[in-house]
Amino acid sequence: MERLIVAAVIVALVGIVSVVVRKRRVSDAPTQQRFEAPEQLDRGDFPRPEAPWLVAVFSSTTCDVCQTVVEKAKVLESDEVAVADIEYAADKALHERYRIDAVPTLVIADAQGVAQAAFLGPMTATDLWAAVAEARSPGSTPRAGDCQRP
């Protein structure tokens, strides 16, 4: 009987010690990268700083999606909209200056360089063109749920 009591006490102590150890163990926070687009661009860093609008695509030749994003953006080139492809190997300094840590990153900036919209990763041409239209003329594109049905 004495052995049974000693065994029960040992089991209870082991249980208490394991609970205390678990509570004291600090688990590592999950690793999550937060990619962000720049909120301000110096228009002097990009071609045609006199254009009222800039679509800047930060890209890389090692990125399969980047070329598609650049092609979608180039369609927007006009007297009013300058489009710049800032390829990593060719212009690493700008990627570092604007802390670009994921490509493609596309920024739509006004004449003062204030980012009016941005995309991280791929987007549809429709979404890109609508974002530029909305930046240039707020309220010009319908929002989800604004469409009326007959």
Q: Which residue carries 């929002």 as its tokens?
A: 143
Q: Does residue 49 fall inside a structural domain?
A: yes
Q: Does residue 142 fall inside a structural domain?
A: no
Q: Which residue range is the domain that position 67 belongs to?
A: 43-136
Looking at the structure of the chain, the number of domains it has is: 1
User: pLDDT at residue 149 above 90?
Assistant: no
Strand order in the sheet with 53-59: 81-87, 53-59, 105-109, 115-120
- pLDDT one-digit tens code per residue, 77-135: 999 999 999 999 999 999 999 999 999 999 999 999 999 999 999 999 999 999 999 99
Average per-residue pLDDT for the chain: 87
Q: Does residue 17 fall inside a structural domain?
A: no
- pLDDT one-digit tens code per residue, 32-65: 667 889 999 999 999 999 999 999 999 999 999 9
CB 51 within 8 A of CB 82: yes
CATH of the domain at 76: 3.40.30.10
Q: Does residue 112 fall inside a structural domain?
A: yes
**In the chain, what percentage of residues exceed pLDDT 70?**
89
